[in-house]
Amino acid sequence: MKILSIDTSSNICSVSILEDTTLIWEDHISDKLTHSENLMPMIKKSLENLNLSLSDIDLFACSKGPGSFTGIRIGVSTICAFRDYFNKPAIGISSLESLAYNILSEENSLVCSIIDAKNNNVYAGLFKYENSHYTLINNYISDNINNVLTMLNNYYNLPITFVGSGAELYSELLKSTFNNCSISVNNNSSSISVAKAANYKYYNCTSKEELSLSPLYLKKSSAEIELDKKLNKG
């Protein structure tokens, strides 16, 4: 099965093609151009280099957030268009879940993905690795970093790996809070990890919510917050 996956949830635009679980193409760009300018040329390049067309792809996948609101919309709308035009399956993967797949874990290992959401706020998700995949332990969190650490107090003494931009930003705080933690050096979101998660879900998951391409924002955009303020004043 050929999987085309994209990740536009951060400042990095990433495109991968996998044959089942084997990576056959990967490209990523972080430059002054927008994802809307980079994404389609990158997809075209990947297919041309492999002598493939979009009709050869069996499964489409993308990161659905949380992350950059604009980037998420670009990625999700692109994959939805491919799904509808080619009548092929498509899966949306949480950015937090895909980050967990950056980590090569042993059975029953704990991984906590943390994405910086600015102003001391983060998005977070705690996962357990079992039977070759990651399972979300609790609901996704969007909160102040200190509140998130309080919510994780049951894990202060357990081995746990942190990954993501938030893990990098708050690495010293995490190390001083958790007695047996490690900080990943592979903290960028990746279309490769999106494809790995999508491959597992395609064969093993029946939940429409987990397979959904609906964006996962976890919080309102700045424009929505400002609009709420204006409406409340009125």
The CA distances from residue 86 to 54, 55, 167, 200, 230, in Å, are: 8, 6, 38, 22, 43
Residue ranges with strand state E in the chain = 2-7, 13-19, 22-29, 59-63, 90-93, 110-116, 121-130, 133-136, 141-144, 160-163, 181-183
Q: Is the pLDDT of residue 101 over 80?
A: yes
Q: Is the pLDDT of residue 227 over 60?
A: no
Instruction: Determine the average pLDDT of the residues in 83-108.
Output: 96
Q: Which domains does the chain have, with CATH numbers?
A: 2-95+189-221 (3.30.420.40), 103-183 (3.30.420.40)
Compute the C-alpha angle 124/126/127, nearest 5°: 135
The pLDDT score that the predictor gives to residue 233 is: 62
Least confident of 22-26, 29-33, 91-95, 128-132: 29-33
The pLDDT score that the predictor gives to residue 232 is: 62
Tens of pLDDT, residue by residue over 164-199, are: 999 999 999 999 999 999 999 999 989 999 999 999
The pLDDT score that the predictor gives to residue 177 is: 97
The pLDDT score that the predictor gives to residue 228 is: 47
Tens of pLDDT, residue by residue over 28-86, are: 999 877 999 999 999 999 999 999 999 999 999 999 999 999 999 999 999 999 999 99
The pLDDT score that the predictor gives to residue 234 is: 57
Q: What is the SS3 assignment for 183?
A: strand
The pLDDT score that the predictor gives to residue 179 is: 96
Q: Is the pLDDT of residue 204 over 70?
A: yes
| Percentage of the chain lying above the pLDDT 70 cut | 94
Instruction: Determine the average pLDDT of the residues in 206-216.
Output: 90
Instruction: Determine the average pLDDT of the residues in 190-211.
Output: 93
Structural tokens at position 24: 């056959």
Q: Is the pLDDT of residue 231 over 60?
A: no
Task: Identify the helix (H) or strand (E) that includes residue 98.
Answer: helix 95-100
Average pLDDT, the chain: 93
The pLDDT score that the predictor gives to residue 219 is: 79
The pLDDT score that the predictor gives to residue 224 is: 47
